């Protein structure tokens, strides 16, 4: 399968690295505007600067440029795309209805886990999607960098983006704050970071992945003995209305996604 990724920023680079490391039978073309982004892929994929050349024999085209530039890019590509090319947009907030020129059959919302092949990618198929042909192709592309979760209702992609794509940054902020707090309690910066990272890794490992269905509070209760250290720490967190802070973060990210949807 011939896959072209257009745009080699944070996401395009993670996706391209994940696809190459996954060692699938995907024949990859990567298209950037500047040489810098392409250098890490020299000798491992077809590298091009001309977007129209990059798509002219593609089976799947992944649009990984900024939301603002995505509709214009698609218009520019339209007459160069093979009629049966499966085009997927990763642009946050840009609805399928705003993408004209060539049918964009789906929106994908991967996350930062893509580089470590640990993304859970939301895939939302539009009305133009031929499920028997397009779904397996797109699932193969995004499964190469983790797992795929279908979202049936496009309007839910706003909150899915807030939790699934922005959410890892919220968890990383918690990791950073844990390390800062440990420094305050006397650990060196390196030790503090090592232990805060260990805490996040342990929690993630116990939580498992999609298929495990374990609720976080069940795991949390296992380490919260009565009158113990974890109970004391959790009680302190609750006095700072940490849940309200997360609710605000998800609300703000969802709202921002909706704002981006308006041209």
Ligand X SMILES: NC(=O)c1ccc[n+]([C@@H]2O[C@H](COP(=O)([O-])OP(=O)(O)OC[C@H]3O[C@@H](n4cnc5c(N)ncnc54)[C@H](OP(=O)(O)O)[C@@H]3O)[C@@H](O)[C@H]2O)c1
Q: How many CB atoms lie within 10 A of CB 222?
A: 10
Alpha-carbon distance 112 to 117, whole Å?
A: 9
- Give dist(CA 114, CA 198) in Å, integer: 21
Q: Which of residues 39-58 bind ligand X (CB under 6 A)?
A: 51
Q: Is 11 in the site for ligand X (CB under 6 A)?
A: yes
Binding flag, residue 5, ligand X (CB under 6 A): no
Residue 109 engages ligand X in binding (rule: CB under 6 A): yes
Which listed range, 16-24, 30-38, 222-230, 238-246, lies at the site for ligand X (CB under 6 A)? 30-38
Q: Confirm or reject binding of residue 26 to ligand X (CB under 6 A).
A: no
- The reply to whether 263 sits near ligand X by the rule CB under 6 A is no
Sites for ligand X among residues 159-188 (CB under 6 A): 165
62 touches ligand X by CB under 6 A: no
Q: Does 69 bind ligand X (CB under 6 A)?
A: yes
Residues in the chain: 263
Which is it for strands 119-125 and 60-63: parallel, antiparallel or unpaired?
Answer: unpaired
The nearer residue to ligand X, 6 or 85, going by C-beta atoms, is 6
Taking the chain, what is the end-to-end CA distance rounded to the nearest angstrom? Answer: 33
Q: Of 25, 34, 83, 186, which one interacts with ligand X (CB under 6 A)?
A: 34
Q: Does 228 bind ligand X (CB under 6 A)?
A: no
User: Binder to ligand X among 3, 4, 12, 178 (CB under 6 A)?
Assistant: 12
Tell me how far apart the alpha carbons of residues 29 and 22 are, in angstroms, rounded to a whole number.
15
The structure tokens listed for 191 are 């030790």
Q: CB of 82 within 8 A of CB of 64?
A: no
Q: Among 47, 17, 242, which residue's Cα sits nearest to residue 144? A: 17
When asked if residue 85 is in the footprint of ligand X (CB under 6 A), the reply is no
> Which CB atom, from 113 or from 182, has the smaller least distance to ligand X?
113
Report the Cα 236 to chain-centroid distance in Å.
32
Nearer CB in complex with ligand X: 11/145: 11
DSSP designation for 19: H
For residues 54 and 90, give the distance between their C-alpha atoms in angstroms, rounded to a whole number: 17
Angle between helices 189-207 and 167-184 (to 10 degrees): 140
Which residue from 40, 67, 101, 128 is in contact with ligand X, where contact means CB under 6 A?
67
Tell me if 92 contacts ligand X by CB under 6 A. Answer: yes
Does residue number 32 form part of the binding site for ligand X (CB under 6 A)? yes
The verdict on 73 binding ligand X (CB under 6 A) reads yes
Indicate which single residue of 57, 66, 75, 221 sits in contact with ligand X (rule: CB under 6 A). Answer: 66
Strand-pairing partners, residue 210, are none
User: Where does this chain bind ligand X (CB under 6 A)?
Assistant: 6-12, 31-34, 37, 51, 64-67, 69, 73, 90-92, 109-112, 165
């Amino acid at each position: 399968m011939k896959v072209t990724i257009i745009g080699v920023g944070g996401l395009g680079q993670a996706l391209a690295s994940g696809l190459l490391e996954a060692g699938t039978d995907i024949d990859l073309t990567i298209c950037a505007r500047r040489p810098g982004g392409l250098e890490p892929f020299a000798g491992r994929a077809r590298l091009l600067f001309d977007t129209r050349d990059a798509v002219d024999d593609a089976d799947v085209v992944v649009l990984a440029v900024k939301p603002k530039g995505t509709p214009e890019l698609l218009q520019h590509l339209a007459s160069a795309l093979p009629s049966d090319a499966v085009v997927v947009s990763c642009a946050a907030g840009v609805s399928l209805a705003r993408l004209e020129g060539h049918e964009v059959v789906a929106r994908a919302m991967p996350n930062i886990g893509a580089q470590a092949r640990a993304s859970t990618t939301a895939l939302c198929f539009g009305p133009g999607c031929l499920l028997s042909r397009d779904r397996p192709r797109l699932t193969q592309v995004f499964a190469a960098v983790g797992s795929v979760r279908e979202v049936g209702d496009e309007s839910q992609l706003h909150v899915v983006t807030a939790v699934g794509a922005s959410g890892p940054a919220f968890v990383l902020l918690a990791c950073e704050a844990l390390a800062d707090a440990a420094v305050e309690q006397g650990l060196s910066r390196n030790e503090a970071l090592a232990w805060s990272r260990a805490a996040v890794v342990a929690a993630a490992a116990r939580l498992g992945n999609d298929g495990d269905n374990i609720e976080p509070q069940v795991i949390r209760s296992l380490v919260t003995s009565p009158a113990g250290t974890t109970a004391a720490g959790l009680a302190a967190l609750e006095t700072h209305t940490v849940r309200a802070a997360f609710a605000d973060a998800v609300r703000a990210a969802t709202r921002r996604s909706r704002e981006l949807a308006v041209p």
